[in-house]
Amino acid sequence: MQLYKNQTLKVHNSLSGKKEVFQPINEGHIGMYVCGPTVYSNVHLGNCRTFMSFDMIFRYFKHLGFKVRYVRNITDAGHLENDADDGEDKIAKKAKLEQIEPMEVVQRYTVDFHNTLQKFNFLPPSIEPTATGHIIEQIEIIKEILEKGYAYEANGSVYFDVLKFNESNEYGKLSGRKLEDMIANTRELTAQDEKRNPQDFALWKKAEPQHIMRWPSPWGDGFPGWHLECTAMSTKYLGETFDIHGGGMDLKFPHHECEIAQAEASKGKSPVKYWLHANMLTLNGKKMSKSTGNNIYPSEIFTGENDILSKAYAPSAVRFFMMQAHYTSILDLSDDALLASEKGYNRLMDGMENLKNLSTGTKSDFDINTWRQKCYDAMNDDFNTPILIAHLFDAVKHINLIKEGNESISEEDKTLLLNTLNTFVYDVIGLENQSTVKDDSNALNGVMDLLIELRNQARANKDFATSDQIRDKLTALGIQLKDGKDGTSFSIN
Ligand code: AMP
Ligand code: ZN
CATH code for the domain of 349: 1.10.730.10
Question: Please, how many CA atoms are within 13 Å of residue 223, restricted to the half-sphere of its CB?
Answer: 24
Ligand nearest to the CA of 248: 1
| 87, 119: one domain | yes
Query: Which atom of ligand 1 is closest in space to residue 282's alpha carbon?
Result: 19
Distance 385 CA to ligand 2 centre (A): 25
Burial class for 15, CB neighbours closer than 10 Å (0-12, 13-18, 19+): middle
**Of the residues 389, 404, 428, the one at which a domain ends:** 428
3-state helix, strand, coil in the chain (%, to 5): 50, 15, 35
Distance CA 19, CA 328 (A): 12
Distance 440 CA to ligand 2 centre (A): 42
CA 159 to chain centre: 31
Distance 78 CA to ligand 1 centre (A): 17
| 272, 296: one domain | no
| 34, 133: one domain | yes
The C-alpha angle 226, 233, 229, rounded to 5 degrees, equals: 10
- List residues near ligand 1 (CB under 6 A): 35, 37-38, 46-47, 49-50, 247-248, 250-251, 280-281, 287-289
Distance CA 319, CA 304 (A): 16
Residue 415 lies in a domain: yes
Instruction: Look at residue 206 in the predicted model and tell me its pLDDT.
Output: 95
Taking residue 468's Cβ as centre, other Cβ atoms within 10 Å add up to: 13
Residue 435 lies in a domain: no
Distance CA 171, CA 179 (A): 7
Ligand nearest to the CA of 228: 2
Distance CA 274, CA 253 (A): 16
Residue 314 and residue 430 in contact, taking contact as beta carbons nearer than 8 Å: no
The torsion angles phi and psi of 34, rounded to 5 degrees, stand at -130, 130
Instruction: Look at residue 434 in the predicted model and tell me its pLDDT.
Output: 86
Residue 436 lies in a domain: no
Query: Which atom of ligand 1 is closest in space to residue 246's alpha carbon?
Result: 10
Q: Identify the H or E element spanning 231.
A: helix 226-238
| 148, 234: one domain | yes
Instruction: Look at residue 437 in the predicted model and tell me its pLDDT.
Output: 45
Residue 11 and residue 327 in contact, taking contact as beta carbons nearer than 8 Å: no
Instruction: Look at residue 445 in the predicted model and tell me its pLDDT.
Output: 81
Instruction: Look at residue 477 in the predicted model and tell me its pLDDT.
Output: 87
Residue 450 lies in a domain: yes
Residue 195 lies in a domain: yes
Distance 50 CA to ligand 1 centre (A): 6
Instruction: Look at residue 440 in the predicted model and tell me its pLDDT.
Output: 62
Ligand nearest to the CA of 245: 2
Residue 186 and residue 199 in contact, taking contact as beta carbons nearer than 8 Å: yes
Give the three-class secondary structure for 297.
coil
Residue 120 lies in a domain: yes
Ligand nearest to the CA of 258: 2
Residue 433 lies in a domain: no
> What is the residue type of 189?
L
Taking residue 431's Cβ as centre, other Cβ atoms within 10 Å add up to: 22
**Which of 47, 122, 230, 331 to probe ligand 1 with, by most ligand atoms within 8 A of CB?**
47
Instruction: Look at residue 489 in the predicted model and tell me its pLDDT.
Output: 84
| 267, 366: one domain | no
CA nearest neighbour of 227 among 274, 179, 260, 184? 260
Whose CA is closest to atom 1 on ligand 1? 37
The C-alpha angle 270, 271, 276, rounded to 5 degrees, equals: 110
| 270, 304: one domain | no
Pairing type for strands 151-154 and 157-160 reads antiparallel
| 123, 183: one domain | yes
DSSP bridge partners of 479: 492
Whose CA is closest to atom 14 on ligand 1? 47
Q: Which residue intervals of 324-434 are DSSP H helices?
A: 335-356, 368-380, 385-403, 411-422
For residue 260, the enclosing domain spans 3-278
Q: Which residue intervals of 239-332 are DSSP H helices?
A: 257-267, 298-303, 315-323
Query: Which atom of ligand 1 is closest in space to residue 36's alpha carbon?
Result: 6
Residue 395 lies in a domain: yes
**Of the residues 216, 249, 278, the one at which a domain ends:** 278
Whose CA is closest to atom 2 on ligand 1? 37
Residue 452 and residue 488 in contact, taking contact as beta carbons nearer than 8 Å: yes
Burial class for 352, CB neighbours closer than 10 Å (0-12, 13-18, 19+): buried
DSSP symbols for 306-338: STT-SS---HHHHHHHHHTS-TTS-EEE-HHHH
Distance CA 483, CA 481 (A): 7
CA nearest neighbour of 142 among 253, 34, 222? 222
Instruction: Look at residue 271 in the predicted model and tell me its pLDDT.
Output: 98
Whose CA is closest to atom 12 on ligand 1? 248
Instruction: Look at residue 436 in the predicted model and tell me its pLDDT.
Output: 46
| 296, 229: one domain | no
Distance 445 CA to ligand 2 centre (A): 47
Distance 306 CA to ligand 2 centre (A): 31
**Of the residues 278, 300, 317, the one at which a domain ends:** 278
Question: Please, how many CA atoms are within 13 Å of residue 147, restricted to the half-sphere of its CB?
Answer: 9
| 453, 419: one domain | no
Count of domains observed in the chain = 3
pLDDT along the chain (493 residues), means of 10: 94 98 98 97 97 98 98 92 81 92 95 98 98 98 98 97 97 94 77 87 93 94 96 98 98 97 97 98 94 94 95 97 98 98 98 96 96 98 98 98 97 98 98 69 82 93 94 89 84 78
Query: Which atom of ligand 1 is closest in space to residue 251's alpha carbon?
Result: 12
Instruction: Look at residue 443 in the predicted model and tell me its pLDDT.
Output: 78
> What is the residue type of 176?
G
DSSP symbols for 49-93: HHHHHHHHHHHHHHHTT-EEEEEE-BB-S--BGGGSSSS-BHHHH
Distance 314 CA to ligand 2 centre (A): 30
C-alpha distances out from residue 280 to 47, 248, 300, 341, 478, Å = 9, 7, 19, 18, 45
Ligand nearest to the CA of 33: 2
Check which CATH number belongs to the domain holding 156 and give it.
3.40.50.620
Distance 417 CA to ligand 1 centre (A): 36
Three-state SS annotation for 173-212: CCCCCCHHHHHHCCCCCCCCCCCCCCCCEEEEEECCCCCC
Residue 399 and residue 349 in contact, taking contact as beta carbons nearer than 8 Å: no
| 73, 136: one domain | yes
| 249, 133: one domain | yes
| 296, 383: one domain | yes
Whose CA is closest to atom 18 on ligand 1? 46
Distance 289 CA to ligand 1 centre (A): 8
